[in-house]
Amino acid sequence: MVEFRIRRFNGDETYWESFEVPTRRGMTVLEGLYYIKENIDSSLTFRASCRMGICGSCAVKINGRPKLACETQIASVGNKIILEPLDNFTVLKDLVTEFEGFFAKHKAVKPYLIRSDVSYEEPKELIQTPSELRNYYIFTLCIKCGACYSVCPAAATRDDCLGPAAMMAAYRFCADSRDRGEDARISIASKDLAVWRCHLAMECSEVCPKKAEPAKAIQLLRRKTAVNAIKSILRW
Amino acid sequence: MPILDWFKFTNRSVYSLAFAIQRITGIILLFYLCLHLIFLTSLTDRTGETYESLIAVTVSKQFLLFDILLVLCGVSHGINGLRVIVHEFGFVYEYRKVVIGFAFFLVIVAWLYASYVMYCLVGG
Amino acid sequence: MEESAKSVMEPLAWIFQLISGLILTLLITIHFYLTHMTSHTALHYNEVVARISTPYYKFFYIVLLFFVSFHAFNGLRAIILDTNFGARNRNSVNAMCYTAFIFIFLYGTFLVIIL
């Protein structure tokens, strides 16, 4: 039996509650949560969907570090599992936090290919070599779980800070050889709520469940923004 | 207070620790800069009395501990700053473990050496 | 022009923060070595005044002061802008930090010149 100690929120007050969960080898923290919901307390609320680490819904703080509940083995955590909702997000209920702001920031960096020469009437094949793909492939792995945002020290103290996931998405498209919208994204990245809030804590890369290296993407985006700024000065 | 999240040491990697230390030492050194300039204003007393009276307190065996801590702040801020410069330009990010280990080692060596020399000079 | 000025200030401040940091690791090491690691008497009044009277030291101190005040107050600016207070009052924070940098630099330079 393993103790699940969960920080709960019912809309008015925050409180801790413990549950004893029978476990077997191979069981994940998410399975433990489902056991509690199905057998002990059906009011326990958490997000989950794919159960296989691809949707990004089940990110929670497990013993102080944000992880995907579906990818964390109970055996690897220990006999006492402390679960809390992600930091830097407003808690709605129990382990569920609001994500609208996070998704809005992601949307703000225009995370799609921008080209003026493609149309549905005349589709055009966009060729990309394997080496061009390798330049940005790792940054495409983001599942928008929010773990990086929850550990970012800038996001902790500044609400409008874009956060690692959005900036990594911005760089992913800037580095994509098929994209022509770099100017639009760089103008967003050069605001003080974007890359300039990163001071290399690098915690985002340490907690990313997909090992997508957001900290590296932000530094490369910063370099691109600075080079762009210098070029714009020289053009005056 | 949200600002205290900058200085979280539990459940954080060594890189976050380095960031927190960089921020704390930066604030300490900023205060020290202002204090240093106020201190040096005492040099305008051409007799030298004000300055010598301040030096008698701050350059002494009793103050050595503060001096050593200040040197630790300065050395760690500087060497960690060099690590930050290298990574913020996007270089050797893949080797960040080695870089931070080496930086930490350099901080300890430089600090111990500077502290030892200061200790000898103050008559210890 | 105003839009471009806004968008180049942050990258330029960042680049100069790194450059000043790099230069400061050298200058502060030299400064610390000369004052704390050479002799027992390096910090006595007469020796300090003798150093600060020579043109080479005056130049060294003014350069050191320039980089250190920029680095310190730009760093403070970055810290304050990391907060919601800084986000709401961005222009005031920028103005106050750069004013503080100029004031500290001018005050220190004044001290170096008159001593």
Nearest by Cα to C17 from B121, A200, B80, B81:
B81
Q: Is the Cβ–Cβ distance between A81 and A3 less than 8 Å?
A: yes
pLDDT in tens, B77-121: 999 999 999 999 888 999 999 999 999 999 999 999 999 988 888
pLDDT in tens, A148-188: 999 999 999 999 999 999 999 999 999 999 999 888 898 88
Percentage of chain A beyond pLDDT 70 is 100
Query: What pLDDT shows up at residue B124?
Result: 61
Domain segments of chain C as ranges: 2-114
Percentage of chain A beyond pLDDT 90 is 84
Across the interface, of C22, C46, C68, the residue whose CB is closest to B33 is: C68
**Structural domains present in chain B:** 2-121 (1.20.1300)
Across the interface, of C4, C7, C82, the residue whose CB is closest to A157 is: C82
pLDDT in tens, C52-100: 889 999 999 999 999 999 999 999 999 999 999 999 999 999 999 999 9
C2-114 — its CATH code?
Answer: 1.20.1300.10
Query: What pLDDT shows up at residue A233?
Result: 84
Residues of A in contact with B23 (CB under 8 A): 199
**Structural domains present in chain A:** 2-97 (3.10.20.30), 100-234 (1.10.1060.10)
Residues of A in contact with B12 (CB under 8 A): 151, 203
User: Average of pLDDT values for A64-89?
Assistant: 96
Query: What pLDDT shows up at residue B24?
Result: 95
Nearest-angstrom CA–CA distance, A182 and A176: 10
- Check CB contact of C90 with chain A, cutoff 8 Å: yes
More confident residue, C2 or B35: B35
pLDDT in tens, A84-126: 999 999 999 999 999 999 999 999 999 999 988 877 788 888 8
Residues of A in contact with C84 (CB under 8 A): 157-160
Q: Is the Cβ–Cβ distance between C82 and A157 less than 8 Å?
A: yes
State the count of interchain CB pairs (< 8 A) between A and B.
Answer: 58
Q: How confident is the model at residue A30 (pLDDT cuts 50, 70, 90)?
A: very high
Q: Do B37 and C111 touch (CB under 8 A)?
A: yes
Residues of B in contact with A213 (CB under 8 A): 93
Interface predicted TM-score (ipTM) of this complex, two decimals: 0.89
pTM metric for this prediction: 0.91
